[in-house]
Structure 1
């Protein structure tokens, strides 16, 4: 390793600053400026790249708006009504509460676009419901909540998909469509595993909700259930762009919770805006750092050099996708998902394009891998979040999450090797890939 090389020095600087506790976004900006200085380039380029990237990327506006929509939902009773609806549908089966956990994640996925928002919002409620009266072990409830939460960013709308669209120039509308069947496949894999485990471990059967109450429960949840329909219908009918749909999502959550359900106060709205601002600032700083560092990577011609290097191995498209799966699953254990999307994925895209891999299919494979990284030991972020929420030991949560991880890895293999599953809906709506 030659520390006199500007690029090597900047990479080492990012690692050192991150280990010292500096946020990764700040570390990337500082190290990129160090690169520009040592390479004899204009250091003002860092500010230029940051400002141009942030101000010309209209699609980035969707991120804070989807976050705000999720915060407003959790502040009101929309989430609680959805849980009640899910319980009425699948709660009557053995292991019904566990099935409710997965179903609510699938429905909630159409509103928040964030796995962490799902786990921290509805996850808290599900943890309490599943562990009350000792129905389920705390570690199993926490593991299931973490596993079901990763479905959220696969089914549209999805914040990681928005960021992938930013770095790949792939159509965000077709990416949203492409995530529907894979997300449903992941949910089906989890629910099948729960059905098997429920019989094996003799999980309880909940008191069924009388069928005569189902219309009333559905009516109470109907405005919340219509949110994904409004968003996706607006996008695919051409009425609004995905970014405009994010604004509609936030406005819809505010109107339904505030005016129809009447369970939002000025204080809760303020705290929702404040929480979403903090989360957005954190993500925004990470994106800003990545935009500057990506300039450094481009100057060093890293993407093209890596593409040429990988092509020298004469990899087939399937071979390359297997390699990508392995690399991203390993990185997902160690790095935050947005960092992988902004730093690692742009380096892989030229090779994928050279091999003729469809960018929409590649995007879904990438996002699924990154989401699985959130529950992959030893450093899956959702595992730590659920440890704090549940109070269960991390070791026990890891033990209970492994079967779900293996089930979803099986689904990932299907998604990887059968592109038609991913591209079926986009092609149905006119995608030519």
Structure 2
């Protein structure tokens, strides 16, 4: 006879396949487990409420999302694009390079790959495909792979969620993502440079020298946002959650007060979109908290830790195993679900092997972000395909070279932890 836990897994999988959101699927399956185990089914609500309301850090997620939506609703993103054009627009394939740079800068403000792809990324696709300057599939693929950097460069919503399940320091996690994010963007720029010469991409008209100070001055308030955000966190003035609130308030102040590009209608739409996205993520977090309680009752983390310890793996062999598992799961599962359900199962083993939790967190987040652009479930692929109208097969084809570079980045940060831990150690991290 099947155990209650195995039945629970089947029910969760079936409900998800039938289209029920994965968060609700986990809640339903967990309640079924509690009933079959003869436990109080109200425990599910208790775990949900305690987990959601006792973790102050979770509040930063909707605030970062709101800040990104306000940026996209106002003119902050447009001014950012014009500034990026000053930096790299004059090179062959300049618009493609602008796409990478704007994602890198936008990453320091939102922490969300989806906000990047659906906001500034949507503008970049329109600019790149105007007058058939770039193939629509290439513009879509580039937008998807550059948006992946968003949750790696601080601030990062996935790293906030990892801190929730691992008790790692958010501040050090944010710092640890800087070098991997820059490495990934740098390798993407190398690929674009190669493609530009091979496919004869156009050269954009250079910006007149006299225009540079004006464009820079107009973008200056936007560029100050990540400086203020990260400065507040690392100076100890605010917690990451309070810094997220400052980011949202600053975006409103600049968009509505200084740029006068955010009216009541745009503000309402930004609040509505941020609320919907936050509710979706919140339900996912709540479902994972309830299901993780079931996993704990079944003693899965300890059992897996004992199994892997019996295999006598070295730390590097364990990290390679985790990379393979997370990359495969990222192809078929939503990234937040993997981060909240699968990664916590590996944490005890990583700690037992002496693997640094900050390094492990960055490796896990990079893996999960790669899942956003790997078929068949790559969420960013669906978003950019919907915006561009290009066939998915063409977008995936143009994504593959960039995926190769991103996997190389993952290999490097796995093999060389100092790439990840260098900045945190400069800030006083003792790991």
With the length of structure 2 as denominator, give the TM-score of the two structures.
0.99
Helix, strand or coil for the counterpart of 1:62? Answer: helix
2:211 maps to 213
Question: What is the CA-CA distance between 1:242 and the residue it aligns to?
Answer: 0.4
Q: Where in structure 2 are the equivalents of 1:13-412 lying within 5 Å? A: 13-412=11-410
In the aligned structure 2, how far is the partner of 1:181 from the partner of 1:33?
A: 42
Question: What is the CA-CA distance between 1:184 and the residue it aligns to?
Answer: 0.4
Helix, strand or coil for the counterpart of 1:334? Answer: coil
Q: What is the count of residue pairs matched by the alignment?
A: 431
Task: Could you tell me which runs of 5 or more consecutive residues in structure 1 were left unpaired when the two chains were aligned.
Answer: none
In the aligned structure 1, how far is the partner of 2:330 from the partner of 2:225?
A: 31
Helix, strand or coil for the counterpart of 1:374? Answer: helix
**1:421 is the counterpart of 2:423:** no
The answer to whether the 8 Å contact 2:12/2:29 transfers is yes
In the aligned structure 2, how far is the partner of 1:157 from the partner of 1:226?
A: 14
The answer to whether the 8 Å contact 2:141/2:395 transfers is yes
1:431 maps to 429
Task: String of CA shifts for 1:243-284, please: whole Å, max 9, x gaps.
Answer: 001000100000000000001111111111111000111110
In the aligned structure 2, how far is the partner of 1:410 from the partner of 1:26?
A: 36
Task: String of CA shifts for 1:176-198, please: whole Å, max 9, x gaps.
Answer: 00001110000001001111111
Task: String of CA shifts for 1:191-214, please: whole Å, max 9, x gaps.
Answer: 011111111111111101112211
Question: What is the CA-CA distance between 1:152 and the residue it aligns to?
Answer: 0.3
Question: What is the CA-CA distance between 1:20 and the residue it aligns to?
Answer: 1.4
In the aligned structure 2, how far is the partner of 1:25 from the partner of 1:428?
A: 39
With the length of structure 1 as denominator, give the TM-score of the two structures.
0.99
Question: What is the CA-CA distance between 1:378 and the residue it aligns to?
Answer: 2.2
The answer to whether the 8 Å contact 2:334/2:377 transfers is no
